Copies of this chain bind each other. A is one copy, B any other.
């Protein structure tokens, strides 16, 4: 059964309950702006003074879910007088509170249902109307358009980061390496002006991270923290890329403990391949040297590559370029199983594959988990870390769902495999060597207690 169809069934199993408690190590591949439950995000939007909404086409019940709204905090002076989306001309901003209260198709509850549906992929889209890679990516991209104006508003961004980190902590994750999309050079501040630069994003991230670590410590937990993979999108020009690389270096210099790596994101199947940027990317080490970054603080590439069904296509070839460019890990690497030589190199150089089972299934790279190439990667000795990618869009919050899928799809994988995957997620993180030792030791302690708990609580019940 497909993930989105079977999700409710999964949640009712004892196995899921057991896996929720599993110490999962690091979450190495998740896009920050898809890591908080959209129900909570919408609540943030509704509570935020000055939050407005607009649509580009007039509302029609038949096409409601494909009518993707935009949100933004609009400064007082620009405020509109429209009281509902229905009366406002297309493209006109309406205060979210009144748009919601006056929503013709079911009032506030109807509004919420609609707004949430534009921020997630639902089963009928993934398995029916959008059941191809290209179509589902189109829907996928619109979810980011819907949430962007909410998340990239500093008063919400703060809350968002806190919630994102706490969601991980609650799911037994002890370290995260979110990819943050720095494409927009500014986000909006409380006044609705789009003038908060990247540096301030990191200042806030740093502060919230310290709070969460402190809180987690008080709870007797051992959250090892978070580092950011600086990301921009594969549709920019090489000249623009140079700016982002420089920006990333500048941030690294001020926040060496926060910047973990650099990546280019977006649908590999339609956007530029890595080789399009090769000339600039090859200059990154020299740029870092010129900027005076110490040797031990060099920023690794951590590229998405091979997130494709293609065989010999550009996204498939990204795997070769990612490795040639010295990528530290590979995001997805779905098509790597077709390339014995690249697998051999990854095994030798210990390049870890960030595998996102549920993402791959929802985005139609695999029809169901038993068709997923993960066993091929594992049996070829590749280091693998399980990741959730865009949990808020796919409904796989935390890592429990992804671990569940891996366990349920195979008669080969048991707790031993899951434990090794969790360990890999710490070993192949961007934590410093000494931090890794601490994190691994702490994970092992939790794992031993976890196994004891399973034996004690579930040992009689069933053969797990």
The interface residues of chain B lying within 8 Å CB-to-CB of A368 are 309
**What's the number of copies of this chain in the assembled complex?**
2
The interface residues of chain B lying within 8 Å CB-to-CB of A379 are 338-340
- Once A340-B380, A367-B367, A380-B340 are accepted as A-B contacts, the answer to whether A410 and B375 lie under 8 Å apart by CB is no
Whether B367 lies near A412 (C-beta < 8 A) is no
Whether B338 lies near A376 (C-beta < 8 A) is yes
The interface residues of chain B lying within 8 Å CB-to-CB of A309 are 368, 370-371
**A409 CB–B CB distance under 8 Å:** yes
Among candidates B311, B373, B380, B413, residue contacting A410 with C-beta atoms closer than 8 Å: B311
The interface residues of chain B lying within 8 Å CB-to-CB of A375 are 311, 338
Whether B380 lies near A311 (C-beta < 8 A) is no
Among candidates B313, B366, B409, B413, residue contacting A371 with C-beta atoms closer than 8 Å: B366
Q: In chain A between 328 and 385, which residues have their CB closer than 8 angstroms to a CB of chain B?
A: 337-340, 365-368, 370-371, 373, 375-376, 379-380
Closest chain B residue, CB of each to CB of A127? B131
Whether B411 lies near A311 (C-beta < 8 A) is yes
Whether A310 lies near B340 (C-beta < 8 A) is no
**A312 CB–B CB distance under 8 Å:** yes
Q: In chain A between 402 and 453, which residues have their CB closer than 8 angstroms to a CB of chain B?
A: 409-413
Whether A410 lies near B370 (C-beta < 8 A) is no
Q: In chain A between 7 and 38, which residues have their CB closer than 8 angstroms to a CB of chain B?
A: none
A305 → chain B closest CB, angstroms:
16
Closest chain B residue, CB of each to CB of A369? B309
The interface residues of chain B lying within 8 Å CB-to-CB of A311 are 370, 375, 409-413
The interface residues of chain B lying within 8 Å CB-to-CB of A370 are 309-311
A384 → chain B closest CB, angstroms:
14
The interface residues of chain B lying within 8 Å CB-to-CB of A339 are 379
Whether B312 lies near A410 (C-beta < 8 A) is yes
Q: How far is the CA of A370 from the CA of B412 in the complex (A)?
A: 26
A139 → chain B closest CB, angstroms:
18
The interface residues of chain B lying within 8 Å CB-to-CB of A373 are 337
The interface residues of chain B lying within 8 Å CB-to-CB of A313 are 411
A421 → chain B closest CB, angstroms:
15
Closest chain B residue, CB of each to CB of A370? B309
Q: How far is the CA of A5 from the CA of B411 in the complex (A)?
A: 33
The interface residues of chain B lying within 8 Å CB-to-CB of A376 are 337-338, 376
Whether B371 lies near A312 (C-beta < 8 A) is no
Q: How far is the CA of A379 from the CA of B339 in the complex (A)?
A: 7
A269 → chain B closest CB, angstroms:
11
Closest chain B residue, CB of each to CB of A317? B411
Q: How far is the CA of A337 from the CA of B337 in the complex (A)?
A: 9
The interface residues of chain B lying within 8 Å CB-to-CB of A365 are 371
Q: How far is the CA of A368 from the CA of B366 in the complex (A)?
A: 10
Find the residue from A311, A365, A368, A411 having the highest chain B CB count within 10 A: A311
A403 → chain B closest CB, angstroms:
15
Q: How far is the CA of A376 from the CA of B377 in the complex (A)?
A: 12
Closest chain B residue, CB of each to CB of A308? B370
The interface residues of chain B lying within 8 Å CB-to-CB of A310 are 370, 411
Q: How far is the CA of A338 from the CA of B377 in the complex (A)?
A: 8
Q: How far is the CA of A309 from the CA of B310 in the complex (A)?
A: 21
Q: 19 additional contacts, CB 8 Å, given A311-B409, A313-B411?
A: A309-B368, A311-B375, A311-B412, A311-B413, A312-B411, A312-B412, A312-B413, A337-B337, A337-B373, A337-B376, A338-B375, A338-B376, A338-B379, A339-B379, A340-B379, A365-B371, A366-B371, A371-B371, A376-B376
25 contacts between A and B (CB under 8 A): A309-B368, A309-B370, A309-B371, A311-B370, A311-B409, A311-B410, A311-B411, A311-B412, A311-B413, A312-B410, A312-B411, A312-B412, A312-B413, A313-B411, A337-B337, A337-B373, A337-B376, A338-B376, A339-B379, A340-B379, A340-B380, A366-B371, A367-B367, A367-B371, A376-B376
Q: Would you list the 9 A-B pairs with minimal beta carbon distance, nearest first? A: A312-B412, A309-B370, A367-B367, A311-B410, A312-B411, A338-B375, A311-B375, A311-B412, A313-B411
> A residues engaging B (CB < 8 A)?
309-313, 337-340, 365-368, 370-371, 373, 375-376, 379-380, 409-413
